[in-house]
Structure 1
Amino acid sequence: MTGIDATVFVAGHRGMVGAAIVRQLQRQGYKNILTRTSAELDLRDQAAVDQFFADNRIDQVYLAAAKVGGIHANATYPADFVYDNLIIQANVIHQAYRYGVKKLLFLGSSCIYPKFAAQPMAESALLDGYLEPTNEPYAIAKIAGIKLCESYNRQYGVDYRSVMPTNLYGPGDNFHPENSHVVPALIRRIHEAKVRNLPEVVIWGSGSPKREFLHVDDMATASVFVMDLEKQLLDKQVLPMQSHINVGTGKDCTILELAQTIAAVVGYKGKIKTDPSKPDGAPRKLMNVERLARLGWKSSINLFEGIQDAYQWYCEHQIELREV
């Protein structure tokens, strides 16, 4: 079954991306959306995943479930990151094939690209160099997910697609003071500086590295857009061995500019200072999104509006996040 009458399984619906995909599907009129918490269905359990697909006639799968974390988590638990993600992907993709699911969308990450990939990073850069060591296990797992989809397409004639988002942020993000990514971390830090009336906020590094940020609702609309594309149209733009599609804004900003934007949204009047003694990381990370643009999709939420939305969500959930 196709269209809004399709039965759609969103794996990972409690995560930031999965929740946004559910919201987008609901906005488009989908009624038959299946979700399961990790307590209800452990995607690492092959027998449980087999039984789930046997019990439900599923038309489409959005595979947004993954073990994720920042640099500290990746460095501390590399075995967990590679094992959990490999087995989740293998179980869901294989059982989807076994039970006749014709369309699946796998969600990856921009970390699949080599550490020194040419900027902006095109899909063709995959496997063209060494990965960033700090998140190599996670990246290896995501690359395996792409290749699983490509291999099942080639061998079994299914239609399993992959999208690779840039840095995501928005409602449902992780605002942990140590383990979060840069946008939620700065939102929390700058908000707390405002509440405490602190005269300055210090950010790591020189502030000059450039990064690209995509609101999670844009990612969700892009995901549904790619899932719904006619295969004939997709095949004209996607090569068999480069079947994944980048998703981003095509625009970046410096980390200092990001902090200044967040300060403007939060209403913080203190100084934003840099600490050049701390590492900067890669000087630039920008996705080449020309392929997706040719297919007919572009992001619509600018950074200021997106930060406003993320900050509003943070303020509304502070009590829950206080001990996080």
Structure 2
Amino acid sequence: MQHAIDQRVFVAGHRGMVGSAIVRCLRALGYRDIVTAPRDALDLTDQRQVAAFFAAQSIDQVYLAAAKVGGIHANNTYPAEFIHQNLMIEANVIHAAHLHGVQKLLFLGSSCIYPKLAAQPMTEEALLTGLLEPTNEPYAIAKIAGIKLCESYNRQYGRDYRSAMPTNLYGPGDNYHPENSHVIPALMRRVHEARLAGAPEVVIWGSGTPRREFLHVDDMAAAAVHLMNVSAAAYAAETRPMCSHINVGTGVDVTIRELAESLAQVVGYPGRLVFDSTKPDGTPRKLLDVARAERLGWRARIGLAEGLASTYREAFLDGASLRLG
């Protein structure tokens, strides 16, 4: 596989965790023409602004990593914002890309698109075969709509718009807000602060029994660039017209209790971990079948222990400021 390093590439959401990792990956590979636009210069929920941007930029490839994201608490608290903003972003960007002749686009989704009780590990064919997890249903529906947008433009106009569905991500650039973040950054911050305060225990939402799969964001970025540039023939051989997305993960999961214990070890916290079973657990298990991605030549390289340790150093020990928003 050869990377199209001379292409003019737009990374939507370049300041987010995934988008910034994609930019790092592209630069490391030698890409010379990477286009980005901060939110105050380009509001991706504004159709007119997005159309004008594409008209002026002559883009060849688009990585659609921009999204409103958050954990269980944020999804439960702001369902309208999660479905509205994500629908607007993907509709505006995908449609504008098509209208302005962009042939290649990669849409980044989420493993929450699959039914709550989908067979494990979840294959791409599980999409739309059952009810979604209620706590993040609005976000999941928006991401499913993004997949179907890509499929529809491919089918009607012959575009090459692909979709990657990552498992739970963590790493540099994550959001460490104690309520609006995902499980790893929220727990990492809580355990870190408990160690500094000498607190005897840390209370964790849920029973600790749900199983989750975690992927370092630098692995996700490498997968995104790989999937964008793999040949159309190879990609088509692993998909079909109405199942065009590819799972991206490690193929390995752990319980939330095991994750918390690993984080306590990384942080050096000696106290108790207390699980509050009155709080929601979310989906019982979320493990992706990653056979398609592996057949296309990509495999995760950063193990969870290594990734947690490097993430903790970067966020809490090396003088970096936390992203609280």
TM-score between the two structures when normalised by the length of structure 1? 0.95
Task: Quote the offset at 1:133 in angstroms.
Answer: 1.5
Unaligned runs of 5+ in 2: none
Alignment match, 2:270: 269
Residue 5 of structure 2: SS of its match in structure 1? helix
Alignment match, 2:182: 181
Aligned length: 323
Alignment match, 2:172: 171
Amino acid at match of 1:139: A
Task: Quote the offset at 1:196 in angstroms.
Answer: 1.4
Amino acid at match of 1:95: A
**Partners of 1:271 and 1:248 in 2: how far apart?**
30
Residue 240 of structure 2: SS of its match in structure 1? coil
Alignment match, 1:308: 309
Unaligned runs of 5+ in 1: none
Alignment match, 1:234: 235
Amino acid at match of 1:89: E
1:1-324 pair list within 5 angstroms: 3-315=4-316, 320-321=321-322
Moved more, 268-277 or 190-199: 268-277
Deviations 1:24-74 (A, max 9, x none): 001100010000011100111111111111111111000001111222222
Residue 92 of structure 1: SS of its match in structure 2? helix
Residue 130 of structure 1: SS of its match in structure 2? coil
Moved more, 206-215 or 307-316: 307-316
Task: Quote the offset at 1:276 in angstroms.
Answer: 3.6
Distance 1:263 1:153, change over 3 A: same
Residue 308 of structure 1: SS of its match in structure 2? helix
Amino acid at match of 2:191: I
Deviations 1:209-239 (A, max 9, x none): 2110011000000000000100011111111
Task: Quote the offset at 1:323 in angstroms.
Answer: 6.8
How much is the aligned-residue C-alpha RMSD, in angstroms?
A: 1.6
Deviations 1:218-262 (A, max 9, x none): 000000000010001111111111100000000001111111111
**Partners of 1:72 and 1:251 in 2: how far apart?**
25
Identity among equivalent pairs (%): 65
**Partners of 2:261 and 2:277 in 1: how far apart?**
17
Asked if 2 retains the 8 angstrom alpha-carbon contact of 1:172 and 1:313, the reply is no
Deviations 1:259-314 (A, max 9, x none): 11111111222233333444433321111111111111110000011101211221
Task: Quote the offset at 1:318 in angstroms.
Answer: 6.8
Asked if 1 retains the 8 angstrom alpha-carbon contact of 2:83 and 2:142, the reply is yes
Residue 163 of structure 1: SS of its match in structure 2? strand
Asked if 1 retains the 8 angstrom alpha-carbon contact of 2:86 and 2:139, the reply is yes
